[in-house]
Amino acid sequence: NLAKYLSVLAEHSLRFLEKTYLIEERNHIINNDLFKNYEDELKGVHTWMQGKFGDLIHGENDDPNGQLAETLCRSDLIRLCTFFGKRKTIEVICGHLTTLLSQPNWRLRAALFDSLVTVASYIGLESELFILPLLNQGLLDEEEFVVYRVLKALACFVRLSLLKRKTVYEFLRQVAPLVCHPNLWLRLSVIEFINSICEKSHLADIHGFVIPVIERFFKFPIVQVGNPEILYNALIEPLSRELFEYVQKIQPNENLFRHFTDRSNIRQMTGSGLKPAYIQPTDAVVHEAFAKLTELGMKEFDEDKILALKFFVKQTSQYRLNISASTESTTRPGTVNIKVLPVQRPDSNLNINRNGSENFSARNINNESSDWSEMFGGVTMQISNQVENLPSNLTVSSNDKTTNENNDENMLVDTAQYQLPSTENITQHRAVLIRDPASKITRTGLRLQCLTEKHNLLLKHDAINREDCQREKL
């Protein structure tokens, strides 16, 4: 239940904290400690939520199958994103979600890509930096249902304009051969992805970038590329499941694909009406595999489909080989199993001991990863520039700024990235007024500043109440 309603708990905790602040404001309790206490309470709630989120994602010592993490991924993560703000969403939520890609539970990996759309839609265009590696690795997953969820997520990203055009066309060239896959769900999801691209692209881009990539997979030329029914009816026949599974079974076998490539080149060089003069394979393994495929009913056009699916077949077979080799136990201490190849899925440095020796709640959450700081350091610089442009009567001295540099930076990033319109201005005022004890602003000036803003805060509080009433009615 905690994993299912963690986002609701975070939203209500923030609401209680905000209402307490506004009630004290309405009762004319205006002092410097009020703003400081609020920031301390908010920081404590964020720390607890970050620790609990990490504990639930990694099982909390009693969830080896990842059911808690799956429930958390299928919950309303947009509320958690709103609670943390954009910066901490990238650091906390995205950082922990990345580790789920290495989990053995395929349902958990599928739920990851369902939640990825929600998180990326909140972050915006900056999400492309971390979703691209996840999408590329998800397309090579051994489980076809996970690949299906990746394709559905790609279609959603295109409709939400979260990917650049160049990135979209690269994914199109990568997933277009899946229309030959024997799985009907994968073929339909590729058509949906193509349809989403046509909806967001100009007619010239469709004829220049989309049609040249997909036209070889259709029986006849088509004009209405944006119609999914026409696309599905024009698709060539998919590769049979028997041929697909046998090609996967005999991998790795690069010589077989090389033999298929030679036969394809011979067919292209042979004139129409003539019989191609194929060369018999010299490798006994290739000859045996080709004879078995012919016995299963492989035709010449099936060879082209196998070549189109070459990348997916090789990567999936490689992953299965790694899994089977990793389960073999060594017979003597100190021996190494050389069959185990490097892990295909990327793993983050946020992995912990799943036996429970490390608790996220006890960790210092404020320590930022150097990788995230390098990627998103521009956000902090942008906020720092905004602070420098504040009026002179609200700025702090250079010595005080050096003393409170770390606390001010974390506080300002959280407040500037907070997306709720009902609390954005309030948070910005807190970020300025908390500097008062160390600045040269007199107590009388601070009191006047607070009183002048009091009327605006009360009006916004009334607007918040009206929005809450309307939301409850809905």
**Together in a domain, 290 and 374:** no
**Together in a domain, 157 and 228:** yes
Would you say the C-alpha torsion 10, 13, 14, 15 has a positive or negative sign? positive
**How many Cα atoms occupy the beta-carbon half-sphere of 180 within 13 Å?**
25
Q: Are 181 and 199 in contact (CB under 8 A)?
A: no
**Together in a domain, 145 and 226:** yes
Comparing 380 with 163, which gets the higher pLDDT? 163
Residue 335 lies in a domain: no
User: Is 60 exceeded by the pLDDT of residue 88?
Assistant: yes
Residue 62 lies in a domain: yes
- CATH number, position 52: 1.25.10.10
User: Is 50 exceeded by the pLDDT of residue 282?
Assistant: yes
Radius of gyration of the chain (CA): 29
User: Is 50 exceeded by the pLDDT of residue 330?
Assistant: no
Element (H, E) at 232: helix 228-234
**Together in a domain, 26 and 75:** yes
Residues 71 and 74: their CA atoms lie apart, in Å, by 5
Residue 406, pLDDT score: 43
Domain closes at, from 172, 205, 234: 234
Nearest to 245, CA basis, from 325, 204, 306, 184: 306
User: Is 90 exceeded by the pLDDT of residue 356?
Assistant: no
DSSP 367: P
Residue 331 lies in a domain: no
With a pLDDT cut of 70, the percent of the chain lying above it is 67
Band (pLDDT 50/70/90 cuts) for residue 167 is very high
**Together in a domain, 115 and 189:** yes
* pLDDT one-digit tens code per residue, 20-74: 777 766 665 555 555 667 778 888 888 898 888 888 887 655 666 778 888 888 8
Residue 317, pLDDT score: 64
Band (pLDDT 50/70/90 cuts) for residue 401 is very low
**Together in a domain, 245 and 390:** no
Instruction: Please state whether 280 falls in left (phi above 0), alpha (psi between -120 and 50) or beta.
Output: beta
Residue 321, pLDDT score: 58
Q: Are 70 and 107 in contact (CB under 8 A)?
A: yes
- Top-confidence range, 102-106, 182-186, 266-270: 182-186
Residue 146, pLDDT score: 93
Number of domains making up the chain:
3
Band (pLDDT 50/70/90 cuts) for residue 196 is very high
User: Is 60 exceeded by the pLDDT of residue 316?
Assistant: yes
Residue 269 lies in a domain: yes
Residues 56 and 67: their CA atoms lie apart, in Å, by 9
Largest distance between two CA atoms of the chain: 98
Q: Are 98 and 134 in contact (CB under 8 A)?
A: yes
- What are the Cα distances from residue 320, in Å, to 190, 232, 282, 438? 24, 31, 28, 61
User: Is 90 exceeded by the pLDDT of residue 95?
Assistant: no
Residue 352 lies in a domain: no
**Together in a domain, 76 and 204:** yes
Band (pLDDT 50/70/90 cuts) for residue 386 is very low
**Together in a domain, 390 and 272:** no
User: Is 50 exceeded by the pLDDT of residue 388?
Assistant: no
Residue 303 lies in a domain: yes
Band (pLDDT 50/70/90 cuts) for residue 195 is very high
User: Is 90 strand, coil or helix?
Assistant: helix
Residue 408, pLDDT score: 41
Residues 25 and 34: their CA atoms lie apart, in Å, by 9
**Together in a domain, 68 and 211:** yes
User: Is 90 exceeded by the pLDDT of residue 105?
Assistant: no
* pLDDT one-digit tens code per residue, 202-221: 989 999 999 999 999 998 88
Domain span at residue 403 reads: 365-473
- From the DSSP assignment, how many helices (H) and strands (E) are in the chain? 24, 0
User: Is 43 strand, coil or helix?
Assistant: helix
User: Is 60 exceeded by the pLDDT of residue 336?
Assistant: no
Of 161-175, 395-409, 447-461, which range is least confident? 395-409
Nearest to 257, CA basis, from 291, 219, 286, 295: 286
Residue 352, pLDDT score: 34
**Together in a domain, 106 and 85:** yes
Would you say the C-alpha torsion 34, 37, 41, 43 has a positive or negative sign? positive
- Top-confidence range, 25-29, 174-178, 290-294: 174-178
Band (pLDDT 50/70/90 cuts) for residue 135 is very high
Residue 466, pLDDT score: 78
Q: Are 37 and 74 in contact (CB under 8 A)?
A: no
With a pLDDT cut of 90, the percent of the chain lying above it is 19
Residues 301 and 240: their CA atoms lie apart, in Å, by 12
Residues 307 and 264: their CA atoms lie apart, in Å, by 9
Comparing 218 with 363, which gets the higher pLDDT? 218
DSSP 183: -
The answer for residues whose C-beta is within 8 angstroms of residue 191's C-beta and 6 or more apart is: 179, 228, 231, 232, 235
CB atoms near residue 380 (< 10 Å): 17
CB atoms near residue 258 (< 10 Å): 13
CB atoms near residue 343 (< 10 Å): 11
Average pLDDT, the chain: 74
* pLDDT one-digit tens code per residue, 222-277: 888 888 899 999 999 999 999 998 888 887 778 888 888 888 888 888 877 788 88
Residue 399, pLDDT score: 43
**Together in a domain, 226 and 211:** yes
* Average pLDDT rounded to a whole number, residues 189-211: 92
Band (pLDDT 50/70/90 cuts) for residue 147 is very high
Two tokens, residue 385:
């520039």
Domain closes at, from 212, 234, 256: 234
Cis previous bond, 238, omega within 30 = no
Band (pLDDT 50/70/90 cuts) for residue 375 is very low
Residue 12 lies in a domain: yes
Band (pLDDT 50/70/90 cuts) for residue 174 is very high
Residue 399 lies in a domain: yes
Residue 318, pLDDT score: 64
Q: Give the global pTM.
A: 0.65
* Average pLDDT rounded to a whole number, residues 298-321: 81
CA 185 to chain centre: 22
Residue 450, pLDDT score: 65
**Together in a domain, 369 and 423:** yes
